[in-house]
Amino acid sequence: MSSQTYAALREECCEANRDLAAAGLIDLTFGNISVLGDKAFAIKPSGVPYEKLTPADMVVLNLKGDVIWGNKRPSSDTPTHRRLLAALASSGIRAIAHTHSRSATAFAQAGVALPDFGTTHADYFRGPVPVTRSLTPEEVSGDYEWETGKVILETIDKQTPADVPAILVRNHGPFVWAPSGKKAVEVAVALEIVADLAIKTMAISPTAAPLPRFLAEKHFLRKHGSTAYYGQPG
């Protein structure tokens, strides 16, 4: 294939990965973003420092997992991204971001869903950010990354992906999804902000109550859905 094949997809993916690092969500090389195009997706190569990434480094695969462009090894999390993109694309999801951002990962390691204490949380997430169950020994010893995608989808279940654009994989870290690479970075940043706020809230008041549902719904729906009125039209 020519060097122009999937150029826009690789560019979007590279920019999103670099933005993820610039937002302070990446330590070392812990994390990655994938972006879906027409029946193929681009993803960060495994272990390559973010500051050295170029669009030519991105690896493009089809949804069967075959590399169709690029000469680097794709992220080790590629099967998880592939499973999520295949399942969520019909809902308008084109990008998956995975980080080990510190506050959100602390909740994942504790196996605790991220509580919705305030309107900052409700602006992005419709209710608590859920945490998955633990993977079984059989799932870990088998196709581990593919099974990670399975447990994420199992936890989302029948919820609308746009209502629950993030999840905490127990003992591991957060995954978020969005219609574009840029938006996935934004959601990942928002997740880390509200996780940090939740930790501080619980430190100040261990018995702090969640946001009342009527107020949570108001804040979520004024930014999302057909009745949204936050921001500018279009």
Name the residue type at position 10. R
Nearest Cα to Cα of residue 143 among 223, 79, 193, 204: 79
- Has 144 been annotated as catalytic? no
Q: Annotated catalytic residue: which of 57, 77, 123, 143? A: 123
- Has 123 been annotated as catalytic? yes
Residues 93 and 178: beta-carbon distance below 8 Å: yes
Angle between helices 181-204 and 7-22 (to 10 degrees): 20
Residues 202 and 161: beta-carbon distance below 8 Å: no
Question: Are β-strands 31-36 and 166-169 bridged in parallel, bridged antiparallel, or unpaired?
Answer: unpaired
Dihedral sign from CA coordinates of 158, 161, 165, 170: positive
Query: In the chain, what is the greatest distance between 2 CA atoms, to the nearest angstrom?
Result: 59
Residues 157 and 98: beta-carbon distance below 8 Å: no
Q: Annotated catalytic residue: which of 27, 143, 163, 230? A: 230
Token reading at 155: 């936890």
Q: Scan for tokens 């989808």, then name that residue.
A: 153
Catalytic residues: 123, 230
